[in-house]
Each structure stands twice: as C-alpha cells, then as structure tokens.
Amino acid sequence: MSDAETDQEQLIKELIAESFALRTKSEHLSQYVETKIADLVKTRSELITIKGESGRLKSESEREIEQLKSESEREIEQLKSESEREIRQLKSESEREIGQLKSESEREIRRLRAGIETANQQRNELEAKLDSLISEHEALGEANLQMTSQRDRLRDRMAQVDSSPEYRLAKRLRRILGLILKDAPSQ
C-alpha cells in the first residue's frame, strides 16, 4: 500500500472520528436539554401542588418551557450548522489533499515511465551491439579457422620441403659455397 493511500485512509478515519464526535456532542446536548426540560416539568408540578395556583404556574412554566425549547433549538441549530461547516471544511481539505496526492502520484508515474522507456532504449541498443559483436565474433572465428588450416597446410608443406632430398642437397651446397666464398680472396 502506498503512502498516498495510507494518508487518504488516515484522513478518512479522522473525518469519521470527527463526525462521530459531533454526533456525540449533539446527543449530549439533547440529553442536557431533555434533563433541563424534565427538571422544569418536575419543578412546575411541585409548584402546582405546593401553591395551588395551577393556572398561573402552568402558563409560566409553559412559557419557560417554550423559551427553553426555543433556546435549545437555537443552540442545536447553531451546533448543527457549525458541525456542517466543519464537515464541509474537512471534506474540502481532504479533497484538496487527495488531489495533491493524485497529482504527485501521476508525476511519479510519468517519471517512472520515462525511466522505463530510457531503460528499454538502452536495452535495445545493447542488444543491437551484442548482436553485432556476436556476428563479428563468429566471422573472426571462421577467419581464425581458415588461417589455422592454412598455417597447418604450410607447416606440412615446409615439413615436406625440409625432408625432400633436393632441399637437403641445396642446403649442403649453400654451406659449401658459403665456405668457399669466405675463403676466396677479395678482388
């Protein structure tokens, strides 16, 4: 797995964790509001039983409940809009980072392809040189065989000439003539 994929997965995990945290925060706020509403309802019922002024207390508690409800709804909407804004921001940041990673990986792929093309070109050049060297080696081998056979034929011929009676006679005559010519006075 590449670093880009790892970074992308890490970013997605962070976004999911942030989303979970916002949901948890919203649930806590809802529980808080429900607790406050429950406290108000309890307080209202106690006031009704204690004072006996059910009508007035009822309208006041309803007003307070409505006021608390509207405040809590406002707070919930505010938290919702903030969380949506944060999610959009995180999403745009992750998309930007993904785009950057994608462009970097594309550049790396182009660079690697260029390297592969260069290596293929060099390999083809080396193969052509190898082929020419092999053919040259074969030609030299054939020339060597021809020269070796020619040398062997010449050696055989020289051996025949050296062993012939005419050659031996000519050799003796040369020695004798060489001695005679040495002994002859210079004129």
Q: Which residue has the tokens 């921001």?
A: 89
Range 99-108 average pLDDT? 89
Dmax (CA) for the chain in angstroms is: 177
Q: Quick one: how many helices (H) and strands (E) in the chain? A: 3, 0
More confident residue, 159 or 50: 159
Query: Which among 11, 15, 1 is positioned nearest to 97, based on CA atoms?
Result: 11
What was the pLDDT predicted at 161? 85
Q: State yes or no: pLDDT of 16 exceeds 80.
A: yes
Tokens of 143: 């020339």
What was the pLDDT predicted at 15? 82
What was the pLDDT predicted at 123? 93
Task: Report the Cα 72 to chain-centroid distance in Å.
Answer: 52
**SS3 for 185?**
coil
Q: pLDDT grade, residue 148 (50/70/90)?
A: very high
Tens of pLDDT, residues 46-95: 877 777 655 655 677 678 888 878 888 888 888 888 888 888 888 888 88
Q: pLDDT grade, residue 41 (50/70/90)?
A: confident
In this prediction the pTM is 0.36
Q: State yes or no: pLDDT of 166 exceeds 60.
A: yes
The rounded percent of the chain whose pLDDT value lies above 70 is 93
More confident residue, 62 or 107: 107
**Rounded mean pLDDT of the chain?**
85
Residues 2, 16: Cα–Cα separation, whole Å? 21
Q: Which residues of 50-72 are buried (b: 16+ CB within 10 A; e: fewer)?
A: eeeeeeebeeebeeeeeebeeeb
What was the pLDDT predicted at 138? 93
Q: State yes or no: pLDDT of 163 exceeds 90.
A: no
Tokens of 84: 């949506």
Cβ atoms of 64 and 40 closer than 8 Å? yes
Which amino acid makes up residue 146?
Q
